[in-house]
């Protein structure tokens, strides 16, 4: 038995377990813990590929297992999180949010066969989409005082479905050598946004502002990539 090959797959399975528990917690209304487990899944997702490269132990099974785990943690988990969050407001119409799970699976299937996505992405990455929704679903229901806002989130979930599979380039940290300035600009923006949210959380004593930082950073990421796409076409 090759122990080296087991290490990356074990890390990937930790990602899958995080996603599975997050789904259960979402159904129990424990949105903050569900979001934290999605973040935990993102942590393991980052290190499984890195460990496979460092240990020189990539495998076809590892690639497939990674995608399966990502469907659970970054596809189904955030979709269930949004569904459970909106169901008290919209009833079963909140089930529209579950479309994100299907489009996330499609996104991951395309990633596996698309040769263009070795060091960048075509379409929004599923972990980024999951982090975006995790932050939103921690906002208190007082923010959703009107049904229109709930329907606005449903509309936003459909936009997410589009962005996941859109033919729009999104930079990855793997492309740091090629897109160093853009990534540095993104990180500077993230530091500023996170600092603002943390300060806001401390001064107002509303911890939800701190968790909302991830959502704002993903919005900044999307805006930056859309601007780059427009510049490339002009």
CATH of domain 3-172: 1.20.120.1760
Tokens coding 153: 């989130």
Question: Which DSSP symbol is given to 2?
Answer: -
Q: If you search the block for the tokens 């989130």, which residue do you land on?
A: 153
Tokens coding 186: 């993104």
At residue 75, the pLDDT reads 94
For the segment 27-56, the average pLDDT, to the nearest whole number, is: 85
Tokens coding 217: 């950073």
Tokens coding 181: 């300035």
d(CA 41, CA 12): 9
d(CA 96, CA 5): 39
At residue 225, the pLDDT reads 92
Structure confidence by residue, pLDDT tens digits, 135-187: 887 665 545 555 577 888 999 999 999 999 998 889 887 776 777 888 899 99
Structure confidence by residue, pLDDT tens digits, 75-126: 999 999 999 988 888 888 999 999 999 999 999 888 878 777 677 788 899 9
SS3 169: strand
Question: Which DSSP symbol is given to 29?
Answer: T
For the segment 11-23, the average pLDDT, to the nearest whole number, is: 93
DSSP strands (E only) in the chain: 120-122, 169-171
Position 23 pLDDT exceeds 70: yes
What phi and psi, each to the nearest 5 degrees, are found at residue 140? -70, 155
Cα angle 27-31-35, degrees, rounded to a multiple of 5: 115
At residue 67, the pLDDT reads 86
Q: If you search the block for the tokens 């600009």, which residue do you land on?
A: 185
């Amino acid at each position: 038995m090759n122990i080296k090959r087991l290490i990356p797959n074990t890390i990937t399975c930790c990602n899958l377990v995080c996603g599975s528990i997050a789904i259960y917690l979402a159904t129990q209304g424990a949105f903050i813990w569900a979001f934290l487990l999605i973040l935990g899944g993102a942590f393991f997702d980052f290190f499984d590929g890195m460990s496979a490269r460092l240990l020189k132990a990539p495998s076809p099974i590892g690639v497939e297992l990674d995608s399966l785990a990502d469907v659970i943690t970054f596809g189904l988990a955030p979709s269930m999180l949004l569904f459970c969050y909106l169901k008290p407001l919209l009833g079963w119409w909140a089930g529209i949010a579950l479309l994100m799970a299907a489009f996330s699976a499609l996104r991951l299937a395309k990633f596996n066969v698309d040769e263009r996505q070795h060091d960048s992405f075509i379409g929004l990455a599923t972990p980024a989409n999951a982090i975006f929704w995790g932050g939103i679903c921690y906002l208190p229901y007082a923010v959703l005082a009107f049904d229109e806002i709930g329907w606005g989130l449903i509309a936003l979930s459909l936009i997410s479905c589009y962005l996941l599979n859109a033919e729009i380039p999104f930079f990855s940290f793997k492309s740091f050598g090629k897109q160093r300035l853009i990534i540095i600009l993104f990180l500077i923006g993230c530091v500023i946004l996170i600092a603002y949210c943390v300060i806001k959380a401390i001064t107002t004593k509303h911890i939800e502002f701190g968790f909302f930082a991830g959502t704002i950073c993903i919005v900044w990421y999307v805006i930056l990539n859309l601007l780059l796409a427009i510049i490339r076409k002009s």
